[in-house]
Every structure is written in structure tokens, then in C-alpha cells.
Amino acid sequence: MDAQVSKLAPDVDLSPFRVFSRDEWADLRADTPLTLTLDEIKGLQSLNDRLGIEDIVAIYLPLSRLLSLYVAATQGLFKATQRFLSAGDGKTPYIIGLAGSVAVGKSTTARVLEKLLARWPNTPKVSLITTDGFLLPNAELRRLGLMERKGFPESYDTPALLKFLARIKAGESNVSAPLYSHLVYDVIPGEEVVIDRPDILIVEGLNVLQPPKLPLDAKPIPFVSDFFDFSIYLDADEPHLRRWYVDRFMTLRKTAFRKPESFFRRYAEISEEEARGVAFGLWDRINLPNLRENIFPTRPRADLILRKGESHRIEEVALRKL
């Protein structure tokens, strides 16, 4: 792709990425078969996130092929290391991190990859977890004055997330994580999701690529991304993200917000104009600052960047050079 028209690699000589147009990336599918039915594809789509068979074929099948090759190579390296160490048989999951803004479509991408990767013969067991479960409970956020910072790095129980990933990477079985409900907008007390030694674990979250502040005494501080074997950043321009967020909010106002247990129930009862104003306010006051300060700056740390256009269609793919 001409570097002058790419927003992902404006200087091709200095960029650590190789950038592909949608058509160039689609050619890398080779003979990878489509293993999803139309009904399955429809079921994977998130609210207001358009996903069609053309996206699966052009973007996600080549990506699943690439990841299958990477996983196979890592599995081979792991076995070689085990032989060298004369160690017993073990299983270390391949962890894929997926980052990006609110409303960019991370959930859809994560579910599509989960389904496609599970159809490859060397990775039959694929699990998915979001970092939402590691948000501090609302009561604690209120105590700390952080409800308006929910989704910012300081609103997470990062030590618990690091401990969870360390146990997964150590090959432990039945590792539990807290369960989050978007309906009640909080961690559910006593509820857990259990991850049991998958071949691949997909970890989806806003800030999973963000490094912590380094201590002046050089004390070892693990990053969440230290546990990733591969990382993906889902990218889009701010005006598109803002519109997608507001459109989703207005759709939820007519559906999930109407449920009695919904945290956002009050927004289903105000006028459409008022609700739209609330959505714009939430975006401009919370989500946009988080994007600019914490999420977007991590884009260069990803191994792969998927860049969306106005219609949610992925137009560019950037793959880090080896």
C-alpha cells in the first residue's frame, strides 16, 4: 500500500508495520475454508456493529490463518524447550490481547476469532474473557471517587488481573475470574467465569496494552501485555467512534435500558433529545478522554492493527514486521 495514503504507517521507511489494503489482506486467505455458517455469523454481531460474510472472508479468515501459523510455531517451540529441560508434559495457552476504544467493535472481533480459531485442528479449545470483570465494584469506585473514571486504568483491580493471567500462563486448570454484567453495570458478587487450560485465550479490554508507570528503583513490574503472545488493536477515527457510541446508546435505550434491573433505566424514560444529549455528554466527558489519554497511545504496541472506516468496515490492516 502507498504509505502516503495510510494513516497507520505515514513513513514506510521508519514504520515497524507493514500495511495492507483490504484487498491485499484478503489475498492472504489462500485456501482457508469458511467454517462459519450465515446463522453463526449473524449471531456473532454486536449491537450496531455490522458484520457480514464479506468481512469474515476478507479480514478474519486471513487473520485466523496467520494466528494458526503463529500458534503452531509457538507450540513447537514450547515442546522443544520441554525436551531441552527434560520437563514433563505441560500446556501453556497462547494468549491473544485485543484492545481498542469503547464502541469500536472489540466484542464482535473477539467472538469471531474465538469461533474461527476453534475450527483449526491444533487449537480446538479457545476461550474468551473480557477485563470488565476486573473493574472495581461500583461501591468501591464511589468510595474512591472514580465512578466518572470507570474504564480508566485506575478503575481496575490490576493486581488481580495480573495474578489471573500468571496462573493461566502457568498452565493451571480451572482459573476463575469475576463476572461483570453490562445490564447492572457492575461486577456480580459471587459470580465467576472459569477458564480451564485452553489452547488459546483471547483477552479483550480497553487498556490491555497500556504499560504501568515504571518505578524509579527499577523494581520489576509486570505489564498485562507481558502475558500476551500476540496483540491486536482495533482502530477508528474519533468522529466515527463518537457516532457509533451514541447510536448504540440510543438503541439500548429502546431495549436493555428498559429492563427494571438496568443501571441505565432512567435514560429509557427521558425524551429522545435528552437521551442523545446524555450520550454525547458521556462520550465527551469520559470515553473520549480515556481514548486520548490511555487507549489510543497504546496502538503502536500492538502486533496487528485493524483500522475501520465509517461503516465499521475494516479498510486497512497493519502487521508488525518480524
Sign of CA dihedral 198, 30, 15, 298: negative
Mean pLDDT rounded to a whole number for the chain: 91
Q: Give the end-to-end CA distance of the chain in Å, rounded to a whole number.
A: 18
Report which of residues 255 and 50 the model is more confident about.
255
pLDDT the model gives residue 82: 84
What does the domain layout of the chain look like in residue ranges?
22-320
Q: How far apart are CA 53 and CA 36, in angstroms?
A: 9
Provide CB contacts within 8 A for 252, sequence distance 6+.
Answer: 47, 264
What confidence tier does 5 reach under pLDDT thresholds 50, 70, 90? very low
Question: Running DSSP on this structure, what letter comes out for residue 308?
Answer: E
Whether pTM > 0.95 for this model: the answer is no
What pLDDT is attached to residue 137? 97
pLDDT in tens, 255-273: 999 999 999 999 999 999 9
Amino acid at 159: P
**Contact in structure between 193 and 129 (CB atoms under 8 Å):** yes
pLDDT tens for residues 103-149? 999 999 999 999 999 999 888 999 999 999 999 999 999 999 999 99
Pick the CATH number of 22-320 from 3.40.50.2000, 3.90.79.10, 3.40.50.1580, 3.40.50.300: 3.40.50.300
DSSP string covering 277-291, please? HHHHHHIIIIIHHHI
Q: In the structure, what pLDDT confidence band is assigned to residue 217 with cuts at 50, 70 and 90?
A: confident
Indicate the pLDDT class of residue 10, thresholds 50, 70 and 90: low
**CA geometry: angle at 296 spanning 267 and 211, to 5°?**
110
What distances in angstroms separate CA 258 from CA 183, 184, 245, 279, 280, one per listed residue? 10, 12, 18, 16, 20
